[in-house]
């Protein structure tokens, strides 16, 4: 029987750690939290100092029984949950549930899941940190108070099922404020003027007109631009100044959580999921499960001394002495950062990305390489550039251009030698050379061309997931571990929607913010939310009291809550007044909220049941005519149903024509009307029809849904399994693949396009076409034991 029980959070973590410990240890997983506040009630005793009332999570009751059974007979229980507030709180709950007078409970901490780190944790065993637990409890109680007090208010006044959260509401307000900025933005015209110049030797170069006299040049319309062009056509272009200086570009620090979320090419939630997999362990031949990266929830760029020694040795061996700086680089931690954990880095320099690539999924490899390169680069020598600034006089005008030539690649060599997109664009673009000709002060240059360029100021862009994380981080809202959950709630509650990958608030989201801002301006204020985060940090440090902090918050919150119950308009019953008039009876229209969002309803209900959609898709261009019904000619209007927005004929119920909306690069646009064809369906003999879907036009049976035939594009290749036609298909994400037309009876699929050409090497009935950034266009055999291939150049030559 084992003498000690080690409890971690996940089965993957348990599996990895179990291989490091002997038979005296048993490693089990708690599956995360085992106790929490009840869902059916507040679960906080406000009168008793905001004491939380915990109960077992229903889904974890079986796990708790298994943990208790595993704890019987052991001498010691070790809690080895994640090294952060949440992990400390889980450990505290486990200790309360499993500990006893006969069983000692110890706390193990490790920043990486490697044998060395796990065994070292036993040498530095400690007890549960009550300050960290109190900080987590304070956050949990704060969120519960706001969520369980504000949400019912919205149910009473607006619509059941809405929610308001302490942090999510601030994030939603940021999205709404950005949308307001975009709506208020007035674009202004401006012009940039460039001159194409040539010296006595190549190359030619472009210089921008930057000054007129002693003032910066500002050109706001075409007439002014033409006047400047006329002046320059008569001027002589003479070199005024020429200055060259060396510039160093240092590598960025290793990743913290928020920077990794911003740099990765995945949604925030997926990034954290993949990072968790890399942290908990990847199966490597001969070694078993190995944790490849350090703990992925951190806001400190600090790196362990031994890791710095190891990476400097790696750089010296792989790149040479010139790429190793004289002293290790140290990175400053932000004043409000929790410095308990290192930056995100590889656990060992032995596991370079290419070595472990065969054992990683495509996404795991991509993220691991991103982390690896960033960490290695952070301890490499800076890149060196010669920056040359050239100023040219032309009459009363001054022109300027800059050239940059890389002298030494330094850390940028990691990105320049990489054939795939791997790091921030700016890190690679800096290495590009911009050459200027050999000229001297006083040289006269030849004008080859004047290029006036009309520009317009642009509104601030909507937030993407990466830029929203950046905004939350810069404003001190939430913590890196909470960003994914915050973004997820905004979408699942339908407070925001994504247009071209960027967040736009729905009318419902805007309405919730408007209502809350009138009564709870502090809760929606960035500074106030940041202040609460700072108080939570102080509780963790032991310099603030958990109950005092909550009492101070609740005093004002409860007062505002009572005032809001009286002052907040009753949209659920009476609706909000609007400027619209009912087109059927002439009564005023009011704003209401239904199952499918915000809409306009006639105030004379139930005498008049007229309703109208209020939430619009992207506005059409000014010269676009509104869509007309193809059956009766009346205008189509926006409606919302259980599957989202759609267009419906304004003549309903006499005309029941509808048309779906599809998401394109320009936002939501109306699908084209179906086009009936003379061609018959091979399955049911009904006419085929051309439809427009999310990924373009396709041809299907008009008898849908009774007949689900879809005409697919043939490749001309016979399926090697059953002889059926191999056709082009689309995955749920829009990615093209190729499969047998007899699916689901036949499951033959290919990601690369098959070609109706026999392999000249092995006789296989088809070849495949493969296009990659590294190898370009290739034609190769799909059989694993055949190495036939040819490139595009070889194909053209033949």
Q: Quick one: how far is CA 459 from the chain centroid?
A: 21
Distances, alpha carbon 482 to alpha carbons 85, 139, 471, in Å: 12, 11, 14
DSSP state string for 460-520: PPPP-HHHHHHHHHHTT-S-GGGHHHHHHHHHHTTSEEEETTEEEE-HHHHHHHHHHHHH-
Tokens coding 469: 């994380």
Backbone phi, psi, residue 651, to 5°: -90, 10
DSSP one-letter string for 247-268? EEEPPPPPB-HHHHHHHSSS-H
User: Of residues 295, 365, 368, 546, which has the active-site annotation?
Assistant: 295
CB 520 within 8 A of CB 512: no
The b-or-e profile of 340-372 (16+ CB within 10 A means b, else e) is bbbbbbbbbbebbbeebeeebeebbbbbbbbbb
Cα–Cα separations (whole angstroms), residue 143 to 42, 55, 249, 636, 653: 11, 17, 43, 44, 46
State CA 59 to chain mean position distance: 30
State how beta strands 76-79 and 4-8 pair: parallel
Question: Are the CB atoms for 11 and 2 separated by under 8 Å?
Answer: no
Q: Residue 380: which of 427, 347, 335, 425 has the closest Cα? A: 427
Question: Which token pair is 270?
Answer: 């997926």
CA pair distance 254, 537, nearest whole angstrom: 23
Clarify whether 743 is annotated catalytic. Answer: no
- Cα–Cα distance for residue pair 646/111, rounded to 1 Å: 50
Give dist(CA 637, CA 207) in Å, integer. 51
Structural contact between residues 400 and 389, judged by C-beta atoms closer than 8 angstroms: yes
Please state, in angstroms and as integers, the Cα–Cα distance from residue 38 to each residue in 41, 58, 167, following that order.
Answer: 6, 10, 20
Total length of the chain: 798
Task: Return the number of other C-beta atoms located less than 10 Å from residue 551's C-beta.
Answer: 13
Contact 635, 629 (CB under 8 A): yes
C-alpha separations of 200 from 237, 239, 392 in Å: 13, 12, 15
Rounded to whole angstroms, the Cα distance separating 165 from 513 reads 11
Phi, psi of 256 (to 5 degrees): -105, 175
Reading phi first (left if > 0) and then psi (alpha if -120 to 50, else beta), residue 239 is in beta
- Distance, in Å, from the CA atom of 660 to the CA atom of 694, rounded to the nearest integer, reads 10
In what helix (H) or strand (E) does residue 574 lie, and over which residues does it extend?
none
The per-residue b/e assignment along 729-766, b for 16 or more CB within 10 angstroms, e otherwise, is beeeeeeeebbbbbeeebebebebbbeeeebeeeebeb
- What is the C-alpha to C-alpha distance for residues 750 and 729, in angstroms, rounded to an integer? 10
- H or E stretch covering 722: none
Cα angle, residue 607 at apex, residues 601 and 612 outer, rounded to 5°? 20
Q: In what order do the strands lie in the sheet with 576-581?
A: 576-581, 588-594, 597-602, 611-613
Long-range contacts of 738-746 (CB under 8 A, 24+ apart): 741/712, 741/714, 746/719, 746/721, 746/722
Place of tokens 């106790």: 35
Catalytic residue IDs: 295
């Amino acid at each position: 029987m084992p003498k000690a029980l080690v409890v971690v959070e996940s089965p993957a973590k348990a599996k990895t750690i179990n291989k490091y410990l002997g038979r005296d240890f048993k490693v089990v997983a708690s599956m995360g939290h085992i106790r929490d506040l009840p869902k059916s009630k507040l679960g906080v005793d406000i009168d008793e100092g905001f004491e939380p009332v915990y109960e077992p999570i229903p889904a974890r009751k079986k796990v708790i029984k298994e943990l208790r059974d595993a704890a019987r007979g052991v001498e010691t229980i070790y809690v080895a949950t994640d090294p952060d507030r949440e992990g400390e709180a889980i450990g505290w709950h486990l200790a309360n549930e499993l500990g006893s007078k006969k069983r000692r409970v110890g706390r193990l901490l490790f920043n990486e899941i490697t044998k060395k780190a796990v065994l070292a944790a036993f040498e530095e065993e400690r007890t549960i940190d009550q300050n960290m637990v109190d900080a987590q409890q304070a956050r949990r109680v704060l969120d519960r108070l706001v969520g369980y007090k504000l949400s019912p208010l919205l149910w009473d006044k607006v619509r059941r099922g809405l929610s308001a959260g302490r942090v999510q509401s601030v994030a939603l307000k940021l999205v709404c404020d950005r949308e307001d900025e975009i709506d208020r933005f007035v674009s202004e015209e401006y012009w940039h003027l460039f001159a194409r110049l040539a010296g006595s030797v190549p190359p030619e170069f472009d210089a921008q007109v930057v000054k007129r006299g002693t003032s910066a040049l500002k050109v706001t319309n075409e007439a002014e631009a033409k006047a400047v062009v006329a002046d320059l056509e008569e001027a002589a272009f003479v070199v005024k100044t020429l200055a060259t200086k060396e510039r160093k570009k240092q590598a960025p620090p290793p990743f913290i959580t928020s920077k990794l979320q911003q740099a990765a090419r995945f949604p925030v939630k997926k990034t954290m999921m993949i990072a968790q997999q890399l942290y908990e362990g990847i199966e490597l031949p001969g070694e078993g499960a190995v944790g490849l990266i350090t703990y992925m929830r951190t806001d400190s760029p600090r790196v362990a001394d031994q890791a710095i020694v190891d990476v400097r040795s790696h750089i010296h061996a792989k790149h040479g002495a010139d790429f190793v700086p004289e002293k290790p680089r140290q990175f400053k931690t932000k004043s409000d950062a929790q410095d308990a954990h290192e930056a995100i880095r590889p656990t060992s320099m032995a596991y370079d990305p290419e070595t472990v690539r065969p054992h990683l999924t495509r996404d795991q490899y991509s993220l691991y390489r991103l982390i690896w390169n960033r960490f290695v680069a952070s301890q490499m020598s800076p890149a060196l550039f010669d920056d040359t600034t050239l100023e040219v006089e032309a009459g009363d005008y001054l022109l300027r251009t800059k050239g940059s030539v890389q002298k030494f690649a330094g850390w940028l060599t990691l990105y320049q030698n990489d054939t795939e997109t791997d790091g921030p664009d700016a890190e690679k673009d800096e290495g590009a050379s911009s050459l200027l000709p050999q000229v001297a002060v006083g040289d006269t240059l030849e004008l080859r061309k004047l290029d006036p360029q009309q520009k317009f100021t642009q509104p601030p862009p909507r937030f993407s997931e990466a830029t929203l994380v950046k905004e939350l981080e810069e404003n001190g809202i939430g913590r890196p571990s909470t960003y994914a959950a915050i973004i997820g709630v905004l979408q699942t509650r339908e407070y925001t929607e994504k247009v071209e990958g960027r967040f736009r608030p729905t009318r419902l989201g805007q309405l919730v913010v408007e209502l809350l801002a009138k009564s709870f301006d502090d809760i929606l204020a960035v500074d106030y939310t940041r202040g609460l985060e700072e108080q939570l940090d102080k509780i963790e440090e032991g310099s603030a009291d958990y109950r005092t902090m909550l009492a101070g918050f609740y005093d004002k919150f409860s007062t505002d809550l009572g005032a809001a119950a009286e002052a907040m308009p009753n949209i659920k019953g009476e609706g909000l007044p609007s400027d619209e008039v009912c087109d059927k009876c002439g009564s005023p229209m009011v704003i209401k909220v239904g199952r499918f969002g915000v809409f306009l309803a006639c105030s004379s209900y139930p005498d008049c049941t007229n309703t109208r959609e209020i939430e619009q898709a992207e506005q059409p261009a000014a010269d676009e005519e509104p869509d007309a019904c193809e059956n009766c000619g009346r205008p189509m209007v926006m409606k919302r149903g259980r599957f989202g927005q759609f267009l419906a004929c304004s003549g309903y119920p006499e005309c029941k024509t509808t048309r779906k909306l599809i998401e394109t690069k320009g936002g939501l646009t109306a699908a084209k009307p179906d086009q009936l064809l003379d061609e018959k369906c091979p399955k049911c003999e009904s006419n085929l029809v051309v439809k427009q879907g999310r990924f373009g036009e396709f041809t299907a049976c008009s008898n849908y849904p009774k007949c689900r035939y879809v005409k697919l594009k043939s490749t001309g290749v016979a399926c090697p399994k059953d002889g059926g036609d191999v056709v082009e298909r689309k995955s749920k994400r829009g990615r093209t693949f190729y499969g047998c037309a007899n699916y689901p009876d036949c499951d033959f699929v290919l990601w690369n396009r098959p070609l109706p050409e026999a392999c000249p090497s092995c006789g296989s009935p088809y070849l495949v076409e493969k296009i990659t950034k590294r190898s370009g266009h290739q034609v190769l055999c799909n059989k694993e034991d055949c190495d036939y291939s040819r490139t595009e150049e070889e194909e053209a030559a033949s």
